[in-house]
Amino acid sequence: MKEEILTHLNDPKQLEKLYRSDKPAFKRAFKSLYPELKDNTLAIYWNERLNYTGGEISWGTSKDLVFVLVASLLAGLIAKLPSILSIDEDFFYPRNIGFIVFPLLMAYFAWENQLAKIKIGIITGVLLLSLIYINCLPDVKKSDTLTLSCIHLPLLLWFILGFVFVGNQEFIGKKRLGFLIYNGDLIVMTTLILIAGGILSGMTVGLFSLIGFHIEEFYFENVGIFGLAAAPLVGTYLTQTNPQLVSKVSPVIAKIFSPLVLVMLLIYLAAIIYSGKDPYNDREFLLIFNVLLIGVMAIIFFSIAETTQISKSRAEIWVLCLLSVITILVGGIALSAILFRISAWGITPNRAAVLGSNLFMLINLVLITVQVFRVLSNRTDISAVGRIIAVYLPIYCLWAFIVTFLFPLLFGFK
């Protein structure tokens, strides 16, 4: 579709035919191409037309809808495998939670992006090897490497989903940022779907209980689990066919939460000093500290990804700059704390994983902050910050791969 749009860019009649032949695909292709076509008058017209926020909701083509319905059913069946095949739930879910939805989302974007067969084959092979590997790890009750693998494998699957989302290699930096924006939009849409589903479930269970039927257990073990598994797939479908649904909500959320998180971090750091909490000797506090760091990093990434799509005021860029600086301070404390624990009590799988994660996040934050300072001093534009994030993402993918596949071997499955 992208090649056809570029070929007939100055042919209004042919562009209209392309649009009418497959509206969702045309919208997605044009959206990814528009940053390169802003000087074209006809492209400006199509951008205004496609982004007109009327009351019409597109449900895509019948093939798209059938695909999503079948994928949702498959996701529910995968989630029900422990009860269908009498598999121990404590064994199945920690190891396979990522395989409930991610492979089906990959299939959706591979189909939409018309991914080359060789790439589909490679991705399928990686998924199968990952599935076999994680389920063949020794079932040890207290194994830090098993826990780390189960935590990092969904993260690795998320990166593979990003690879499929990006598709072809053209405009790869913009597409990586587009993947982050998609995840933000998906969180918003999926949350709305789950809230609506929760209300419907509560009403259903309540109404049946009024007439003497207590269906809670049956409902949540059958209907509920299918709904939970289907929510990300339906959310993805809605955000891709109707980008206008949340395209204005996500930037508002980013604009509101960035300064709020900045204020919260400042108060939290002051409260740490007042309370006397010590991340150097308090293991649980250090864990919470690292969770905070990851959460703030996600907000920074999402805010910057949104910033590259819309104009930002200087005040908002200052907020991002200050947030990055404070997060560097938090990351530095976390890194020094884990180094202290390693020097005092030796290396363990958990400490090695946290050390690597903190180090990579801190380097990334420093690079981001440098670019934001350059933006504030008018030496570069905001897109340079987005490029730093896009270039750095594969490093996180590599670390997730190392922790998932190599840590059990390096540490003897301990």
Other C-beta atoms lying within 10 Å of the C-beta of residue 355: 17
pLDDT at 360: 93
pLDDT at 257: 80
Q: Cβ neighbours of residue 231 under 8 Å, at least 6 residues apart?
A: 190, 193, 194, 197
Map 325-348 to HEC letters: HHHHHHHHHHHHHHHHHHHHHCCC
Domain extent listing, the chain: 2-50, 67-245, 249-410
Q: What are phi and psi of 214, to 5 degrees?
A: -100, 95
Best CA proximity match to 239, nearest among 279, 281, 284, 188? 188
Quote the tokens at residue 64: 């798209």
Distance between CA 317 and CA 372 in Å, rounded? 7
pLDDT at 77: 94
Q: 172-210 and 249-275 helices cross at what angle (nearest 10)?
A: 90
Q: Are 380 and 371 in contact (CB under 8 A)?
A: yes
Q: Are 362 and 332 in contact (CB under 8 A)?
A: yes
pLDDT at 199: 94
Q: What is the pLDDT along the chain (414 residues), one digit of tens a residue?
A: 777 888 878 788 788 888 877 777 788 788 778 777 777 778 888 887 777 655 566 666 778 888 899 999 999 999 999 999 989 999 999 999 999 999 999 999 998 888 888 999 999 999 999 999 999 998 887 889 999 999 999 999 999 999 999 876 665 777 888 888 888 889 889 999 999 999 999 999 999 999 888 898 889 888 899 999 999 999 999 888 877 777 667 677 777 888 888 898 888 888 888 877 778 887 788 888 888 888 888 888 877 776 665 556 678 888 888 988 998 988 898 899 999 999 988 999 999 999 999 999 999 999 999 988 888 888 877 778 888 888 898 999 999 999 999 999 998 888
Q: Are 265 and 296 in contact (CB under 8 A)?
A: yes
Angle CA 14–16–19, to nearest 5:
110
Instruction: Give pTM, 2 decimals.
Output: 0.81
Q: Are 99 and 150 in contact (CB under 8 A)?
A: no
pLDDT at 276: 76
pLDDT at 259: 87
Q: Cβ neighbours of residue 373 under 8 Å, at least 6 residues apart?
A: 321
Residue pLDDT, tens place only, 149-203: 999 999 999 999 999 998 766 657 778 888 888 888 898 899 999 999 999 999 9
pLDDT at 382: 76
